[in-house]
Amino acid sequence: MIIPFLSWIWAISGVFLILLVLLHSPKGDGMGGLASSGSSMFTSASSAESTLNRATWACLILFLSLAVIISAGWLK
């Protein structure tokens, strides 16, 4: 009974993780940014970006921990 519930939570957290990663703003210019000055690389994150980072990390931790718990078979 609990394994299907955790599987649904795991799948939903995976979808949220994908959406959160896609919401992040690009940090650099790609390979073209290697030749330019690196001053834009070290700017501080805004409040919204900081909140988005925390939400992404929390979703990642949930996703990975559920993946380990479900695949290890600890809840048979």
Percent helix, strand and coil across the chain, each rounded to 5?
75, 0, 25
- The overall pTM is greater than 0.85: no
Cite the DSSP H helix spans in 2-44. 2-23
**Could you read off the pLDDT of 17-73 as tens digits, one per residue?**
999 999 988 876 666 656 655 555 555 668 888 999 999 999 999 999 999 999 999
